[in-house]
Amino acid sequence: MKFILNKKFLGILISLLFIGIIFAQVDVGKTIRSFGLMNPVYIIPIIPVYFMAFVLRALRWKIFLHNPELKFNSLLSSIFIGFSLNCILPARAGEIYRAYFFSKKENLNKTKVFTSVILERIFDGVTLFLILVAAICFISPGKMFSKIALSAGVVFFSGFIFMLALAKVRESGSKRKKLKEFIFKFINIFPEKIKKILESAVNKIFSITHSFIEGIAMLDSWGTLLKTMLISLLVWLMEGSSMLLVIKSFGIKISLLGVLLVLSVTAFSSLIPAGPAGIGPYQWGYMIALRVFGVEPESALAVSVINQLLSIFLVLLAGAFFVWKDHLKLDEIKQNLEEKQKVPDF
């Protein structure tokens, strides 16, 4: 519990640090006046476009889970509830809850479900990296964005290649079996009590490893890989389209490619383990990206606040609907949160 509290405190501290940096660069009065520039008519088309991204996320998650029997409504509700908790909990902890809750709800192997969430993040990262590289090539925004792209590329492509390599290991089950037999032979030299403890630990490790490798089975198929990458691209095009409408509502002229630059930078900045909803780093990423297009920091801050508040409101609204639809109680969610904070029993 102490570790969890320290993690929450660190996230809030990081958010406050970024907020301090932001307010040192803006005129607060001018920022407040910038909110008046928004045309609320744009909110109407934003809603279906934004929700379409979640529909696509649910379709993609089903592919990652490699289970055709899973119901779409169950996938969608778990995603919205998880994203809702991201708005409340620091460091995107809602993603962990989503995987834990869904595995319990559908009686699925926890490791496989957690693996599917990791795959989601990797595919999102690779997609956003490619979007950012394309935006840099056509817009040439400066060296800072190239450094962001390089850092993101190293992290997410390394993860992607690692997962592909593991998917190939899946095919060599006999080698894993031989390795396990070799380890057990070595364990036999220990006294009986220690031997039982070590055997139990080895069985646990191999069980988790097997489930993890089975969880990335979809990477074996190039057709499935391309399909998943296409859906990932569509997810972020929907996110970018809703962001475009928000920015346009302030009378700012910007192309879709320009918005995709803003989207990728804010998405990568939101990976910083900040407080709930990534407040602080999100605004900072928005401001440095819009600065490329000559948007004043006060206007950029106002746009980022509206964009984030609108996203939070829509996600919380949908999350509340699915909590009601699934007959969940706040006590049940709280209990699940407390359970997932412990070491999961895979």
CB-based contact 50:242 (threshold 8 Å): yes
Residue 319's identity, in one-letter code, is: G
The answer as to whether 193 is a domain residue is no
Residue 261 is assigned to a structural domain of this protein: yes
Is position 16 within any domain? no
pLDDT digits (tens, 9 = 90+) for 86-131: 888 776 778 888 888 898 889 998 888 999 999 999 999 999 999 9
Q: Is 139 exposed, middle or buried (0-12, 13-18, 19+ CB in 10 A)?
A: middle
pLDDT, tens digit (0-9, with 9 covering 90-100), for 155-209: 999 999 988 887 776 655 566 667 667 777 777 777 777 777 777 777 777 777 7
Expressed as residue numbers, the domain containing 294 is 29-170+216-340
Between CA 77 and CA 323 the distance in angstroms is 8
pTM of this structure: 0.87
Domain assignment of residue 9, yes or no = no
Q: Is 5 a member of any domain?
A: no
Residue 54 domain-assigned?
yes
Residue 76 forms part of a structural domain: yes
Number of domains present in the structure of the chain: 1
Count Cβ atoms within 10 A of the Cβ of residue 329 and give its class: 0-12 exposed, 13-18 middle, 19 or more buried.
Answer: exposed
Instruction: Give residue for tokens 């009686």.
Output: 107
The end-to-end CA distance of the chain, in Å, is 20
| Residue 248, burial from CB neighbour count under 10 angstroms (0-12, 13-18, 19+) | middle
Answer whether residue 73 is part of any domain: yes
